[in-house]
Structure 1
Amino acid sequence: MIIQGNNPYVQPSFSMANRLMRGLWGVVWLILFRPSPRPFHAWRRLILRLFGAQLGRHVHVYPNVKIWAPWALTIGNFVGIADGVTIYNMAPISIDDHCVVSQGAHLCGGSHDIDSANFQLIAKPINLEKNVWVCAEAFIGPGVTIAEGCVLGARAVAVKSIIEPWSVWAGNPAVMKRVRKRGGGK
C-alpha cells in the first residue's frame, strides 16, 4: 500500500487509487458524516460500511471522529468512539467488543523510519482487545496491541504493546499503575 523508496518531498506515498478513494471519503465525511446529528449513529454506520468498514452491532461513532481509511477499520459490538477521536489507519485498526475510545484520543497507525534517507513512511496495525477503555486524549502508536480489559489513562502514550490484561496504564510513556478489579470494583 505504501510506495517504497519515493522522494516524500515531491512524490506521493500512496497510489492514485488510494488517494482518490481518500479524497472521495473526505468529501462524504464533510458533507454527510460530520454534520449529522449526534444521535444518528445508524446513519454514520451506514456511511462507514459503504466505505468498507466492518462494524458490529450497537457501534456509536460520533460525528467529529476523523477516520483516515474506513476500509481499514474493524469495530466489534457495543463500542463507542467519542467526538474528536482520530483514527489514522494507514494499516488496519481493530477495536474489539465493549471498547470505549474517549474524546480526543489518537490511534496512529503510521510513522516514518527516521534512519532511512527519505524518512520512509511505515504503517503497522493497532489492535484493541475486548473491554479496553482508551481515555481522553490518549495516544496509541503504530503496531501496538492493548490487552483485554486494559485502561489507558487520560493523555497516556502507548508506543509498545500492553500485554498484561485487566491493567491500568498512565503517563508518557505509559506505565502500569495497577490491576483492575473485575465486577464493578466492589
Structure 2
Amino acid sequence: MENIPVIDLSRAPGERAAWDRPRWVVYLWAVCELLLVTNAWQISSSLRVRVLRAFGAEIGRGVIFRPRTRVKFPWKLHIGDRSWIGEGVWFHNQDHIHVGSDVVISQETMLTTGSHAHRRDMALVTRPIRIEDGAWITSRCMVLGGVTVGRSALVKPMTRVDADVAANAVWDAAGEVGERFERASA
C-alpha cells in the first residue's frame, strides 16, 4: 500500500477558485447570508429574496424562500417565477444553478456544483445544474453538478441525483422508477 500515491493537500490549487468576485463582496455576502437568509427565525421570505437579488441572484416573482437556506454565491443562482425553496435547502453553487418556474425544492436538499480532481491534484472542478419548470426535488436529496432534472420530474426523498432525469419521470436512488408524475390540471 505504500506505493499508492497520496496528494499533498498543501499544494492543492484553487482555495478561492470559484469566487469570481472581490474578497470583500464574498465576505459581505457571508455576513448578510448568516443574518438574513440562513437565519432560522421566521423572517419574511420577501426579505430573503431582496437580499439575494442585491447580491446578484436572478429570482422571479412569487418565489418563496424558507428559513435556514444557504447560498454559496448568489450571483450564480437563477430561479424562475413561483418556485418554492424549502427550509434548510443548500445551494452550494460554485457554478451556476438554474431553477425553472413552479419548481419545488424541499427541505434539507443539497445542490452542489463542485467536486475535485481527486486523482490529479484536488483542483476544483465545477459543472452547472439545471432544474426545469414544474420539477419537484423532495426532501433530503442531493443533486450533483452537470445534472438536468427534466420538466415536471419528481425526485423521491433521500435520493442522490448524479445523472439527468427525464421530463415527467419519477426518480429514486435506483434511477427512473417508470411511473409518471400526474399533475392536477389548473
* Cα distance change, pair 60–93 in 1 and its aligned pair in 2 (3 A): same
How high is the TM-score relative to the length of structure 1?
Answer: 0.86
Structure 1 unaligned blocks of 5 or more: 1-5
Structure 2 unaligned blocks of 5 or more: 1-9
4+ runs deviating over 6 angstroms: none
> Aligned partners of 1:61, 1:33: CA distance in 2, in Å?
8
Q: CA deviation at 1:89?
A: 0.5
> Aligned partners of 2:141, 2:109: CA distance in 1, in Å?
5
Per-residue CA shift, 1:133-158, capped at 9, x if unaligned?
00110011011111111111101111
Per-residue CA shift, 1:37-91, capped at 9, x if unaligned?
5361111111010000001010011120010000000000110111111101000
How high is the TM-score relative to the length of structure 2?
Answer: 0.86
Q: CA deviation at 1:20?
A: 3.2
> Aligned partners of 1:105, 1:73: CA distance in 2, in Å?
15
Percent of pairs identical after alignment?
26
> Aligned partners of 1:73, 1:92: CA distance in 2, in Å?
6
Corresponding position of 1:158: 161
Q: CA deviation at 1:16?
A: 8.2
8 Å contact kept, 1:22–1:68:
no
* Cα distance change, pair 175–40 in 1 and its aligned pair in 2 (3 A): same
Q: CA deviation at 1:8?
A: 2.7
For residues 36-185 of structure 1, what are the structure 2 equivalents within 5 Å?
37-38=41-42, 40-116=44-120, 118-162=121-165, 164-171=166-173, 174-184=174-184
Count of matched residue pairs: 175
